[in-house]
Amino acid sequence: DAGVIQSPRHEVTEMGQEVTLRCKPISGHNSLFWYRQTMMRGLELLIYFNNNVPIDDSGMPEDRFSAKMPNASFSTLKIQPSEPRDSAVYFCASILTSGGTTQYFGPGTRLTVL
Amino acid sequence: AQSVTQLDSQVPVFEEAPVELRCNYSSSVSVYLFWYVQYPNQGLQLLLKYLSGSTLVKGINGFEAEFNKSQTSFHLRKPSVHISDTAEYFCAVSGGTRGATNKLIFGTGTLLAVQP
């Protein structure tokens, strides 16, 4: 079975540009999580969805960040406008809510904002 | 609120030596505990988890961990490490119920550096 798929794997952009990160969860998983990893702050949960509905977005750093999950097989994390301090690795993870206990992580998107 | 503390940011060890990576947690409710491994430029992979039952949990790649409720610890151990075990190891905690609130709280990670 395919794992969690993220695209792109690497993104380099200039400050002020819009960035869209994409995630496809494992088929059948109905909860999806977005994390950010930096040297300074480690792994932080940004937002998570259950059955396509955002449940907790308290980790989203500011209004420049937004996330959507239009259907069970796709989610996006958008940064507009991007800033150098947004440079990080962004991970997506999914879990089967009913009885599931393990989050499965994608390979991550390494974002560099110049 | 839950929290996880990994006191050692880096653990150097020689190949074939034993290793222990420490993890302590804080929670007012029952918890699930996890260890994830992150190899360079890769995502996180589950090593092992404790949900309930036996306090000694065995995972992949020869790793094991012991849940100690009285000491609120979940230390990771391996009797003999290999060069290929060089990676970042993360301890994590979530609420101890199955369901939508499976938020993971991660520790800051421990870099295991295995030397020949």
Written as one string, the DSSP assignment of chain A is ----EEE-SEEEE-TT--EEEEEEPPTT--EEEEEEEETTTEEEEEEEEETTEEEE-TT--STTEEEEEEETTEEEEEESS--GGG-EEEEEEEE-TTT----EE---EEEEE-
pLDDT at B30: 80
Mean local confidence (pLDDT), A49-78: 93
A103 in B contact zone (CB under 8 Å): yes
Quick: pLDDT tens for B4-25: 999 999 999 999 999 999 999 9
User: How confident is the model at residue A11, as a pLDDT?
Assistant: 97
CA distance B115 to A105: 28
* Contact criterion met (CB below 8 Å) for A47 and A107: no
- Average of per-residue pLDDT across A36-57: 92
- Integer Cα distance of A55 and A48 in angstroms: 6
pLDDT of residue B41: 83
pLDDT grade, residue B100 (50/70/90)? very low
Three-state secondary structure call for residue A38: strand
* Three-class secondary structure of residue B61 per DSSP: helix
Look at A3-7, A73-77, A98-102, B56-60 and tell me which has the smallest mean pLDDT: A98-102
* A95 to B102: CB separation less than 8 angstroms, yes or no: yes
- Average of pLDDT values for A12-27? 97
pLDDT at residue number A21:
98
- Burial tier of B102 (Cβ tally within 10 Å: 0-12, 13-18, 19+): buried
**Counts of helices then strands in chain B (DSSP H, E):** 0, 12
Q: Do B43 and A48 touch (CB under 8 A)?
A: no
Task: Report CB contact under 8 Å: A31, B104.
Answer: no
Number of A/B CB contacts below 8 angstroms equals: 54
Res A87 pLDDT > 80: yes
Which is higher by pLDDT, A101 or A25? A25
pLDDT band at A96 (very low <50, low <70, confident <90, very high): confident
Chain B contact for A70 (CB, 8 A cutoff): no
Q: Among partner residues B49, B100, B108, which is closest to A101 by beta-carbon distance?
A: B49
Assess contact for A107 and A6: CB atoms under 8 A.
Answer: yes
Residue A52 has pLDDT above 60, yes or no: yes
Mean pLDDT of A7-32: 95
pLDDT at A3: 92
Mean of all residue pLDDT scores within chain A: 93
Q: 3-class secondary structure for B63-113?
A: CEEEEECCCCEEEEEECCCCHHHCEEEEEEEEECCCCCCCCCEECCCEEEE
C-alpha–C-alpha distance, residues A111 and A21, integer Å: 9
In angstroms, rounded to a whole number, what is the distance separating the alpha carbons of residues B29 and A30? 25
What pLDDT is recorded for position B99? 55
> For residue A1, what pLDDT band results from cuts at 50, 70 and 90?
low
Contact A45 B49 (CB under 8 A): no
pLDDT recorded at residue B29: 78
Average pLDDT over residues A22-33: 94
Token pair of A34 as six digits: 């977005």
Which is nearest to B63 in space by CA: B52, B74, B51?
B74
- Predicted confidence (pLDDT) per residue in B51-97, tens digit: 888 899 999 999 999 999 999 999 999 999 999 999 999 999 987 66
